[in-house]
Amino acid sequence: MINVLIVDDEQIEREGLKLFLKDRPNIHIVGEASNGRQAIEKALETQPDLMMMDIKMPGVDGVQAVKEIKQQLPETEFIMVSAFDTFEYAREVMRYGVKEYLLKPTTKEDVLTALDRIVGEIEQAREEKNDQYKLQQRLEQISSFVQTESILYLLMDHIQDYEWMEWNEWLRTEQEGYAVVFSFHQQGKEIRKTEKQQWHARIKKEIGLQLPKSTVGPFIGHHLPILMLTENENGMTKQEREQVVIQLLHKVKQAVQPAKVKTGVGGIYRLHFFSTSYREALLALDIIYDHKQASYYFYDKNVKIRADEQLPIERENKLIEAIKSGDGEKALQAFDHYVQAILRCSKHPLHDMRKYLQQLFIILGRLLNEMGLHWETAQDFARFSTVHQVTEHGKSEILHIVRTLQEWRTTDEQSLMLLARDYVHDHFREPLTLDDLAKHIGLSPYYVSKLFKERFDLTFSEYVTQLRVEHAKQLLSLTQKSLKEITYEIGYKDPNYFSRVFKKLTGKSPSDYRKSINGLGPKEDTLNGE
């Protein structure tokens, strides 16, 4: 429905316009005004989509009224009606964005033709605004997901050098941060998956409002990691970080009552080395594990920790890499080293073995799911009553994972990348995104990006850009299509942006390239955006 306000100092003119508008069921007349001052007041009160207004009125005239209303309601459109066929009046109102100017006496046909043009523009603007809103919501959802999942890769040090530029853009982070890891415990009962999901949502909401320089990661067993960015370029003192951690701890405790919460805090590092801060935070948690009164602890490099206490985390990373390689013998050897590292530093062998393996298989499950292998992450190690039973079950599951990966690598990975390539070639002329491709082949955007780079030696965006530019070359040399036509045909919306991309890859602007190939000129003069 389009809300319309009619303004004219003559009542008979207002009645005539209302009569004309009766033929349009999508028009709702929200009011009338007989002079410019009333028009301003009524406009602010009713906020119409469209105003039909006379120019020459006593007091504040139509031109001044348009100027004041546009300042307050910039999206309101106008159809000006005047008995004066003067260029000055028309030029004056056009300065404020008025697109329709009718001369009295107006005919019904003139009014409805102008009305339909303006209504079409209003409805199109509404659709674009709605699409933009939906897109923004989708981007926020994707951004939220990427931020949560990306923390896992930072923790495990699974981000390759060539991906850092993209990851920094996704995370919108500065260069330094530190890990804060929360550990949760409920007396006498296991924490259910649904509880963790509820806690995660609450914590994310509370912390997001109070501490915008934070990114909440996913639950890893009973641990929840949070990436905290330093407040300024010169880092933070321990006292400043302690204030932040106390604030964090208070928010988290509120969100998970009545569960008990302990917190370990790692040192400040560049994000590339964030996994080191995470390991330090876990070590800090281990230190306060047996201290019932302590709620948080900062890792201190000056406090001597037995070297073997750091081994489980280091061995875990080596084990994960061995499993990902698909080498069963190497994976079993790494698993044995991992188990021995846990036993060497453990005061409670059965409890710790269950805890470490539970976390290990949660991480492995996430990595496999990223690859499109839908793996059940929940491993019930609590049902085993001896360390031997726990480790034998873990060994069996690791062999199963390695065999699954071997099969996937020999068949699915290659076929998926061929499928991905074909999809990109079929759809590069559209506004194609990495998310679209990931959904099509059933992998996560992160893993698609990783495989794409490994398989084609180009990032997804580089590959699509090269395809578009090559196709543009063909169109420039074989057709006389304009730059604008070519821009839309190869999947871009902005000719100026396309020109910059083309010149970056070829060293020539589109028009220079066309001239160098065959001397053909464009169909119309639209190459001035280069």
pLDDT tens digit string along 21-38?
988 888 999 999 999 999
What is the predicted pLDDT for the residue at 304? 54
80 pLDDT above the threshold of 80: yes
* Mean per-residue pLDDT, 173-192: 77
CATH architecture of the region 462-517 = Orthogonal Bundle (1.10)
Which has more confidence, 11 or 346? 11
- Token readout for 412 is 């699915």
Which of 56-70, 306-320, 447-461 reaches the highest mean pLDDT? 56-70
What is the predicted pLDDT for the residue at 173? 45
Residue type, 192: R
Provide the CB-side half-sphere exposure for 327 (13 A, CA). 12
The CA distance from 503 to 397, in Å, is 53
Q: Where are the domains of the chain?
A: 2-127, 173-304, 311-402, 462-517
In the chain, the N- to C-terminal Cα span, in Å, equals 41
With a CB cutoff of 8 Å and minimum separation 6, the contacts of 465 are 501, 505
The CA distance from 147 to 171, in Å, is 6
What is the predicted pLDDT for the residue at 87? 54
Residues 287-342 pLDDT 10s: 777 677 788 989 887 765 554 455 576 778 788 888 887 888 888 888 888 888 88
Residues 161-177 pLDDT 10s: 334 444 454 444 446 88
Residues 409-425 pLDDT 10s: 676 666 778 788 889 99
What is the predicted pLDDT for the residue at 487? 92
Please provide the CATH number assigned to the domain covering 173-304: 3.30.70.270
Global pTM reads 0.43
What is the predicted pLDDT for the residue at 473? 92
The CA distance from 299 to 279, in Å, is 10
Question: What is the secondary structure of 62-128 as a DSSP string?
Answer: HHHHHHHHHHH-TT-EEEEEES---HHHHHHHHTTT--EEEESSPPHHHHHHHHHHHHHHHHHHHHH
Helix (H, G, I), strand (E, B) or coil at 495: helix
Sign of CA dihedral 276, 281, 285, 287: positive
- Nearest CA-CA partner of 464 in 420, 507, 416: 420
Residues 92-131 pLDDT 10s: 777 777 878 888 888 888 889 889 889 988 988 888 888 7
Residue burial 62-101, b: 16+ Cβ < 10 Å; e: rest: bbbbbbbbbeebeebbbbbbbeeeeeebbebbeeeebebb
- Nearest CA-CA partner of 1 in 28, 19, 38, 41: 28
Task: Tell me whether strands 223-229 and 176-185 are parallel, antiparallel or unpaired.
Answer: antiparallel
What is the predicted pLDDT for the residue at 139? 44
Question: What is the secondary structure of 446-475 as a DSSP string?
Answer: HHHHHHHHHHHSS-HHHHHHHHHHHHHHHH
- Nearest CA-CA partner of 416 in 478, 351, 371: 371
Long-range contacts of the stretch 384-388 (C-beta < 8 A, 24+): 384/354, 385/350, 386/350, 387/343, 387/349, 387/350, 387/353
Residues 368-396 pLDDT 10s: 776 666 666 556 788 888 888 888 999 99
Beta-carbon neighbour count of residue 260 at 10 Å?
14
- Nearest CA-CA partner of 435 in 139, 132, 150: 139
DSSP 4: E
DSSP 166: H
Cite the beta strand spans of 104-256 per DSSP E: 176-185, 214-216, 223-229
* Mean per-residue pLDDT, 507-530: 64
As a whole number, the mean pLDDT across the chain is 80
Pick the CATH number of 2-127 from 3.40.50.2300, 3.40.50.12660, 3.40.50.1240, 3.40.1710.10: 3.40.50.2300
56 pLDDT above the threshold of 50: yes
The CA distance from 49 to 69, in Å, is 12
The CA distance from 435 to 420, in Å, is 12
Question: What is the secondary structure of 387-441 as a DSSP string?
Answer: HHHHHHHHHHHHHHHHHHHHHIIIIIHHHHHHHHHHHHHHHTTS---HHHHHHHH
Beta-bridged to residue 438, according to DSSP, are none
